Amino acid sequence: MANPRYLLDTSVYSQPLKRLADSASTRRWDALGDGACVVSVVTCAEVEWGLHKAAIPRWWALYEKVLKPRLRILPAEAAVWSEFARMKAVQFALGRPVADFDLLIAATAVRHSLTLATHNVRHFQLIQGLIVEDWSRD
């Protein structure tokens, strides 16, 4: 198994569930292969929250069959939470708060030395020490 290089944000990870998936990120993910990508448990929780909210059984079935088993899921262990706390303090001191789930995903990427793949660069661009790639563009 290849060493992962990318942590997929929810905006990228959820693309296989969308009726009109973004072609740029889908091509990028396919070209790299699943071995180059991982996902945070936080991202899985965001996707599952959306599925609970929608309450459409066929979407759940698609998630369980196609998406959930596809990538290794990184936990939010103590080192990730410590990185999250440091990042939150930095963002607070700079007067540029970032949503907690986004910070926790970013902390996972930093802790595991991964590049964060996202469609929402503006959510992450203010976080120091985080390498971000916009997968919504070719």
Residue 130 in 3-state DSSP?
coil
Name the nearest CA neighbour of 12 among 3, 21, 2, 4: 21
> Would you say residue 68 lies in a domain?
yes
Residue 39 in 3-state DSSP?
strand
What is the pTM for the complete model shown? Answer: 0.92
> Would you say residue 56 lies in a domain?
yes
For residue 117, what are the domain limits?
6-134
Tens-level pLDDT at each residue, the chain (138 residues)? 568 999 999 999 999 988 888 889 999 999 999 999 999 999 999 999 999 999 999 999 999 999 999 999 999 999 999 999 999 999 999 998 899 999 999 999 999 999 999 999 988 988 988 999 999 986
CA distance 111 to 107: 6
> Would you say residue 1 lies in a domain?
no
| Helix, strand, coil % over all residues of the chain, rounded to 5 | 55, 10, 30
> Would you say residue 81 lies in a domain?
yes
Number of domains in the chain: 1
Could you tell me the CATH number of the domain that includes residue 61?
A: 3.40.50.1010
Give me the residues paired with residue 117 across strands: 8, 133
> Would you say residue 36 lies in a domain?
yes
> Would you say residue 103 lies in a domain?
yes
33 within 8 A of 6, measured Cβ to Cβ: no
> Would you say residue 47 lies in a domain?
yes
Exposure b/e, 29-42, CB count within 10 A at least 16 = b: beeeeeebbbbbbb
CA distance 113 to 70: 21
CA distance 91 to 85: 10
112 within 8 A of 7, measured Cβ to Cβ: yes
